[in-house]
Amino acid sequence: MDKAIIAIDGFAATGKSTLAKRLSNHLGLPYVDSGALFRGITFLAIEKGWITDTNIYEKSIEEGISQLKFNFDSLSNALTLNKRDITNQIRSKLVSSYVSQIAKLPFVRYYLLKQQRQMGSSNGLVMDGRDIGTAVFPEADFKFFFTAKPEVRAQRRLEEMEANGYFLGYNEVLKNILHRDKIDTERKVSPLIKADDAIEIDSTYLSLQQVFEICVAKINGK
């Protein structure tokens, strides 16, 4: 499928990234994890001291991101920041706890909006996030919106974190999921909402394979 743009939005831990990767491989399109880009800025903000438990130094962040150079490898899913591989670091508990606060900053969203649109301008892509079908690519060829019960999503995120060497209690992960839902849906700039023309998929009781088959069938017009 040449130059098609497929937008996948939805709540945290609904399987967006996993399905987006599978679809990109199946369709022969580049894959971009937009969440990784927000996490990359969050990681840098933490490292530089631009965000703390009590303060977000917005001016420092705004000035700092102008010097950033991201590269996302759609084959290995590796993210480099100024030629430094930060793929594993951006999945830490600390980054997860701050990313929604960084993602709601208007200048951060505007900066990444330009980056994301450039990525899809030539060869098409599969991109997942929270405002891909509403703000980044409102004219996308196909739009999907993923949802699932918070308890199921928390268990999925817990298993993902443990696989990457991060160990937390289930209740703490669920609390983080609910907090992120609130921030994502209530932010003033590009909140998490379903696009009017998006296909909604509740993955609570569906396997990864079942969701993949539903998406492929919709893309094929079945």
CA 179, 181, 184, 186 torsion: positive or negative? negative
Residues 6+ apart with CB under 8 A from 131: 9, 109, 190, 191, 192
Q: How many other C-beta atoms can be found within 10 angstroms of the C-beta atom of residue 21?
A: 16
Residue corresponding to tokens 């993949």: 212
pLDDT at 222: 66
Q: What tokens does 76 get?
A: 């290995």
pTM, two decimal places:
0.87
| Span 192-197, average pLDDT | 97
- Alpha-carbon distance of 193 to 190, in angstroms, equals 8
- Parse the chain into domains and list their residue ranges: 5-215
Residue 210 has pLDDT above 70, yes or no: yes
| Span 26-46, average pLDDT | 93
Residue corresponding to tokens 């839902």: 181
Q: What tokens does 214 get?
A: 């539903």
| Span 37-54, average pLDDT | 94
The tens digit of pLDDT for each residue in 166-189 reads: 788 999 999 989 999 999 999 999
Which CATH number is 5-215's, of 3.30.450.20, 3.90.700.10, 3.40.50.300, 3.30.43.10? 3.40.50.300
Residue 133 burial (10 A CB sphere; 0-12, 13-18, 19+): buried
Q: What tokens does 130 get?
A: 């929270």
Residue 96 has pLDDT above 90, yes or no: no
Residue 100 burial (10 A CB sphere; 0-12, 13-18, 19+): buried
| Span 185-196, average pLDDT | 94
The tens digit of pLDDT for each residue in 67-83 reads: 888 888 877 889 999 89
Q: CA dist 95 to 56, 116, 152, 204, Å?
A: 14, 21, 22, 26
